[in-house]
Amino acid sequence: MSSATSVTEPVVFRWHQAEITAIAPVTPHVKSVRLRCGLAEQYRAGQHVDVRLTAEDGYQAQRSYSIASAPDGSGTLELMIEGLPDGEVSGWFSDCADVGDRVELRGPIGGSFSWDGPDGGPLLLAAGGSGVVPLLAMLRRRAQGWRAIPAALIYSARTRAEAIAVAELERFAATDPGVSLHLAITREPGGRRIDAALVADALARTGPPGKVFLCGSNRFVAAASALIVAAGVAPGLIRTERFGA
């Protein structure tokens, strides 16, 4: 297997206590949640954590969330959590969570979908909706000292207001010649979907990619991977993370 990560020793995931240090809206449906916890400096960009909530009677619920931050020495990490209709865990983050509240985290999980500067590039990234979160972490990691690696992000969102961290992504693209942003806003006048031309634009900016990461709904990832393979990228370079049906 041509893996993005070399595996040298068994990984043990244990539960860590985590305390919310900041919480803020990112879009109308997504909140940024910053957590202080013991695994804050131990993860790679692109990985996710399991979050566990416990009710007073001992009932527990767990869900997985991608990490949005890159390790930054602050002792905290950032999740971006989309409030889903009837979301058992996301609903608590949407409606109830506050600074000082405590949850449990376990991870980091998902080493095959992760990137660090020494892994090289160029990086071709494509996200649908909240699938941008682990790719944002990769761009943040790149900005910490790997700016020589070209990176292109194709980002499909329904509306500009629903696009996560769009101001930060545009700032990366505006201030760093090594980064290009290719937005596909699907549900606004003049909007578009990801297509062969968008993929060609992104590839023109990066040159032949060394690492390709796709994250989003099944429909998005299937479409994006087909377009990227059709553009001549070897399927073995592509790593995917999917959610939804």
Bridge partners of 80? Answer: 32
In the bound state with other proteins, the residue whose beta carbon lies nearer, of 33 and 181, is 33
180 part of the interface to other proteins, by CB under 8 A = no
Among 32, 37, 66, 104, binds other proteins (CB under 8 A): 104
Cα–Cα dist 134/70, whole Å: 10
Among 21, 84, 94, 109, binds other proteins (CB under 8 A): 109
Binding mask 59-98 for other proteins (x = CB under 8 A): xxxxxx---------------------x-x---x---xx-
- 64-81: burial string, b at 16+ Cβ within 10 Å, e else: ebbbbbbbeeeebbbbbb
CB of 212 to other proteins, least distance (A): 9
CB under 8 Å to 33, separation ≥6 — which residues? 20, 22, 23, 78, 79, 80, 81, 93, 97
Q: Which of residues 144-173 bind other proteins (CB under 8 A)?
A: none
55 part of the interface to other proteins, by CB under 8 A = yes
CB of 92 to other proteins, least distance (A): 5
- Cβ distance 87 to 39 under 8 Å? no
- Interface positions with other proteins (CB under 8 A): 1-2, 5, 7, 10-14, 17, 53-56, 59-64, 86, 88, 92, 96-97, 101-104, 106, 109-113, 218, 222, 225-226, 229, 235-236, 238-245
